[in-house]
Amino acid sequence: MLSIKENETLAVIDRGSPMGDYIRRFWMPFLLSSDIPDADGEPVNITLMGETLLAFRNTSGKVGLIQRNCAHRWASLFYGRNEENGIRCSYHGWKYDISGQCVDMPTEDEASNFNEKVKIVSYPVVERGGALWAYMGPPEFKQEFPEFEFFNVPESHQFISWNRQECNYAQAIEGGIDSAHSNFLHASLDAYWRTDSWLAQGKRSGNLRDMYHARDQHPKFFAEDTDYGVATGSRRETGEDNHYWRYNSSCSRSTRCPRLAPSRSFSTRSCRSPTASPRAGVSFGRWITRFRGLTGSCGDVGMASTPRCTLAPTILR
């Protein structure tokens, strides 16, 4: 078990904290493209990594992610006017573009260049795969945007959704890797008791999970470092001459990618973007954006029945 200090080191993601600075070096999704559909449309309030931000799509169709408040009197830009490639504060009319630069100050005379000296916090945004991604780290550490394989399938072959969960990102990643809880939390009473009717249904369906998952409630876990992240596998005894495996790959601190097997036609990616740090034991929310893209001959959600073996690395490759 972790101590209180160790938990805080792991879970606090404010700027300047160890994990806050580390997580900011990854691209993270913060909205679906459909959440900001229209150029010059209504902006959206966002809290991401403990920062209060504003997202808007400008006249040219590009999306900006900037601090929510005007630098002048700290009025909320959410109530501003999104117009002519910038958002204009409703208090004194200061206008900011998607880079956070103040481009117009109607309260200053024409000879003034004071607006050039005013810039608010902004973050680079990439729109890919039906989602909006932000990089919030130091510019000198900005990585190339990751080209996940689901970006390259037609829009008709993608399904993207999100939900908010009241837990920290580490708990979310742990829950995604943890296959043991599914025998209880995600199982019916018939599956738990392995009734005759349930066993018969599993044989009829031919589904590996229905047939083997409930046979072993204490799976063995294995992990292997790879050049793209960490691959993990949970192995269950089937009572036959094979094992039942469930795989996951963590490509970064935020992205969990179930391993592929040849029996199905889709894969799922889960990306977690923390909103705020826990305070006084209160959990914080996180975005989970799930990308499901049909991939033809190379997709599965990570279930496979494999020949019996005692070590995982040869299976996880």
Contact 272, 48 (CB under 8 A): no
What is the predicted pLDDT for the residue at 296?
30
What is the predicted pLDDT for the residue at 253?
52
CATH topology of domain 28-145: Rieske Iron-sulfur Protein (2.102.10)
What is the predicted pLDDT for the residue at 147?
83
How many CA atoms are closer than 13 Å to the CA of 59, on its beta-carbon side? 10
Residue 36: CB atoms within 10 Å: 20
Q: What share of the chain is helix, strand, coil (3-state, %, to 5)?
A: 25, 35, 40
pTM, entire model: 0.79
Q: Which tokens sit at 303? A: 């279930």
Residues across the chain? 317
More confident residue, 138 or 272: 138
- Residue 63 clears pLDDT 70, i.e. is over it: yes
For 231-269, how does the pLDDT look when each residue is reduced to its tens digit (9 = 90+)? 888 999 988 888 888 887 776 655 555 444 444 444 456
Q: Where are the domains of the chain?
A: 28-145, 163-316
- What are phi and psi for residue 173, nearest 5 degrees? -65, -45
Tell me if residue 161 falls in helix, strand or coil: strand
- Residue 297 clears pLDDT 60, i.e. is over it: no
